[in-house]
Amino acid sequence: MSENTPKSFQHAVVTGASTGIGEATVRKLRADGWTVVAVARRADRLAKLAEETGALAFAADVTKDDDVEALVRFVAEHGGLDTLINVAGGARGADRIVDAKDDDWDWMLQVNVMGTLKMTRAFLPALRAHGHGTVLNLTSTAALAAYEGGAGYNAAKFAQRAVTNALRLEEAENNIRVIEVVPGLVQTEEFALNRFSGDQAAAAKVYEGVENPLTAGDVAEVVGYAVGLPHHINLDEVVVRPVAQAANHKLIRKG
C-alpha cells in the first residue's frame, strides 16, 4: 500500500457469497487477511462458509430495501467497510426475443442491476466518509457484445456496466475507485444450471470440449488483486477469459 492509504483498507462486503465467484472471493480475501462480511440469501451456506473462513455471515436479498438497510447497520456495528464487491447476479433462460419470458427478464434486471444499485447507494455514504473507498462490480463479457438467445442477460449486464461507468465518473471526486471485472466463460457450480432451470445436460453443454475454462477461484484471484492494490491505482476494467475463448464469438471446443 502507499503511505497515503489507511491501514484499515481491508474491510470488504461481498455479495453473492453462497456460491461460485462470490464464495471464492470471500475465501481469497480472508486468506489475504481481510475482514469480510459475506452476503447471500442462503443462510445455511453462509454459515458453513463463515465457519470455514472466519468471515462474518449476513443473510440478505440485495434486491430488498429492508434487507439492505439491515445489512448497512450490521456492517457499521462490525467495523464498517472500505470495499464493496457486488458479485450477486446471474442469468435465467436462453430464449430468443420472440420467446422471451417476462419473469426471467424481471429477475435478471432485479438481481444484476437493481441489486447493484441498492447496495452501492446504501454504502456510498460510508465509503465517502472513509476517504479511500472502493466499489468493484462483477459484470460479464455479455456486457460487451450481444448474442443470440442472450438478450435478457445482455440487457442486464449492459445496464450494470453503464451503472459502473457512471459511478466512476460521479465518485472520483470523493476518492472512490470503481473497478469492473468482466469474466468470460467460467465453470461454476450453479451458473449454467440455474440458467437452464436445473437441466444438467443443457448446463454441461456450455462447457463441453472447452479445455480449461476459468474457475471461480481464477476470477477471485483477479478480484483480490484489483482491490488489494494501493488505492491510487484503479483497474477501471479487467476482462478475463480462458485462453480457449478468444472472443465472445470464438470458443475453441475439442473432441
Domains in the chain: boundaries: 11-251
Q: Is the pLDDT at 5 greater than 50, yes or no?
A: no
CB contact set of 82 (below 8 Å; sequence gap of 6+): 6, 8, 9, 10, 11, 12, 127, 130, 132, 133, 134
pLDDT confidence bin for 228, thresholds 50/70/90: very high
Closest listed residue to residue 88, CA positions, set 26, 130, 146, 148: 26
Tell me the pLDDT tens digit for each residue of 70-115.
Answer: 999 999 999 999 999 999 999 999 999 999 999 999 999 999 999 9
225 is catalytic: no
Q: Name the catalytic one among 147, 153, 207, 225.
A: 153
pLDDT confidence bin for 195, thresholds 50/70/90: confident
pLDDT confidence bin for 2, thresholds 50/70/90: very low
- Mean pLDDT value across residues 135-153: 97
Amino acid at 105: W
- Mean pLDDT value across residues 196-214: 87
CB contact set of 229 (below 8 Å; sequence gap of 6+): 235
What's the DSSP call for residue 141? G
Predicted local confidence at residue 15, as pLDDT: 98
Beta bridge partners of 57: 38
Topology at the third CATH level for domain 11-251: Rossmann fold (3.40.50)
Closest listed residue to residue 19, CA positions, set 188, 207, 192, 134: 188
**CB–CB of 111/91 below 8 Å?**
no
